[in-house]
């Protein structure tokens, strides 16, 4: 069974982004970029399924600028076998990415698609669900456990109040939550090996997809700043402040 793993290149999770003074966006010039952490979990899960003998080939996909090649090389260093870059300098919104990925599903016919539940830049949490809908596939979002058995996937999902397990007919789309696994560290030999793995580049037009944005960002601003309050010397003062000043207890 083939697995398709879409990965996104995002600002590294350790970077505190700054809003540009002209309000057109956030400043990502000279900022460290990495693979979206949830997508890294997705790649790791695919590799584990391959190690278990359930999966035969892992294809990493990224949609975006030329530099997404680095993200794809990282995916291949973790264990993906080959990669596809859908190259575009346009702003690619989740619906457009889902359409591109659907075109790749049609082409590659994977048995499973695993991707992160959300990208930590736009925080949209849409692509996996949209992809599943467009491809008329079942979905299991926010996965904390994935078991493949025969033509089905049993997926345990993180929901409000606890966990639920659902059974999906393959092919299916799974989005990862934090506790699905802990991605391995990539080793130098694997980074070297990844450089030799095949990376194919396509354009959205090659897949017949219109990627024009549907949502226009009018402005980006700083959130209201929350000022630091006061330090209290002891518990008694804290209780007094909460009772008399803040009046919350």
Partner 1 sequence: MTSLVIAEHDHGTLKPATLNTVTAAMACGGDVHVLIAGQNAAGAAQAAAKIAGVAKVIHADGASLAEQLAENIAAQVLAIAKNYSHLLFPATAHGKNVAPRVAALLDVAQISDATKIVSADTFERPIYAGNAIAQVQSSDPIKVITVRTTGFDAAAASGGSAAVETVPAVADSGLSSFVGAEIVKLDRPELTAAKIIVSGGRAMGSSDKFNEVLTPLADKLGAALGASRAAVDAGYAPNDWQVGQTGKIVAPQLYIACGISGAIQHLAGMKDSKVIVAINKDSEAPIFSVADYGLEADLFTAVPELVKAL
- Going by C-alpha positions, the residue among 25, 14, 72, 23 that lies closest to residue 200 is 72
Give, in order, the Cα–Cα distances in Å from 185 to each of 19, 193, 200, 217: 32, 15, 25, 36
Q: Which of these ranges, 49-57, 60-68, 189-197, 241-249, lies near partner 1 under the rule CB under 8 A?
A: 241-249
Binding positions for partner 1, 168-197, rule CB under 8 A: 168-169, 172, 177-179
Q: How far apart are CA 29 and CA 33, in angstroms?
A: 10
Among 84, 140, 148, 194, binds partner 1 (CB under 8 A): 140
167 binds partner 1 (CB under 8 A): yes
- Going by C-alpha positions, the residue among 100, 98, 113, 115 that lies closest to residue 171 is 113
Binding positions for partner 1, 45-84, rule CB under 8 A: none
40 binds partner 1 (CB under 8 A): no
Q: What does DSSP say about strands 152-159 and 9-11: parallel, antiparallel, or unpaired? A: unpaired
Cβ closest to partner 1, residue 48 vs residue 241: 241
Cβ closest to partner 1, residue 89 vs residue 221: 221
Q: Which of these ranges, 64-72, 88-96, 187-195, 199-207, lies near partner 1 under the rule CB under 8 A?
A: 88-96
Q: How big is the chain, counted in residues? A: 249
31 binds partner 1 (CB under 8 A): no
Q: Which of these ranges, 53-61, 82-90, 114-122, 183-191, lies near partner 1 under the rule CB under 8 A?
A: 114-122
Among 13, 32, 66, 151, binds partner 1 (CB under 8 A): 13
- Going by C-alpha positions, the residue among 170, 194, 181 that lies closest to residue 1 is 170
Give, in order, the Cα–Cα distances in Å from 127 to each of 39, 66, 124, 173, 212: 12, 21, 8, 10, 16
Cβ closest to partner 1, residue 164 vs residue 206: 164
Q: How far apart are CA 79 and CA 36, in angstroms?
A: 16
Cβ closest to partner 1, residue 37 vs residue 79: 37
Among 69, 129, 190, 201, binds partner 1 (CB under 8 A): 129
106 binds partner 1 (CB under 8 A): no
């Amino acid at each position: 069974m083939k697995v398709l793993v879409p990965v996104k290149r995002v600002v590294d999770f350790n970077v505190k982004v700054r809003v540009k003074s002209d309000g057109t966006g956030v400043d990502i010039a000279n900022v460290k970029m990495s693979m979206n952490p949830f997508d890294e979990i997705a790649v790791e899960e695919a590799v584990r399924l391959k190690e278990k003998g359930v999966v035969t080939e892992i294809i990493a996909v990224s949609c975006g600028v030329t530099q997404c090649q680095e993200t794809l090389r990282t995916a291949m260093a973790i264990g993906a076998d080959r990669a596809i870059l859908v190259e575009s300098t346009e702003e690619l919104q989740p619906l457009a990415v889902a359409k591109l990925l659907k075109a790749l599903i049609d082409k590659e016919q994977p048995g499973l698609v695993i991707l992160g539940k959300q990208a930590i830049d736009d925080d949209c949490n849409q692509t996996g669900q949209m992809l599943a809908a467009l491809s008329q596939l079942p979905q299991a979002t926010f996965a904390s456990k994935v078991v493949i058995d025969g033509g089905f996937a049993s997926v345990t999902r993180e929901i409000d109040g606890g966990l639920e397990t659902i059974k999906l007919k393959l092919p299916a789309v799974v989005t990862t939550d934090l506790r699905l696994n802990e991605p391995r560290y990539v080793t130098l030999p694997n980074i070297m090996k990844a450089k030799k793995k095949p990376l194919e580049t396509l354009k959205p037009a090659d897949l017949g997809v219109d990627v024009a944005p549907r949502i226009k960002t009018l402005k980006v601003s700083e959130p209201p700043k929350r000022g630091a309050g006061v330090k209290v010397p002891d518990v008694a003062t804290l209780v007094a402040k909460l009772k008399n000043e803040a009046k919350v207890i």
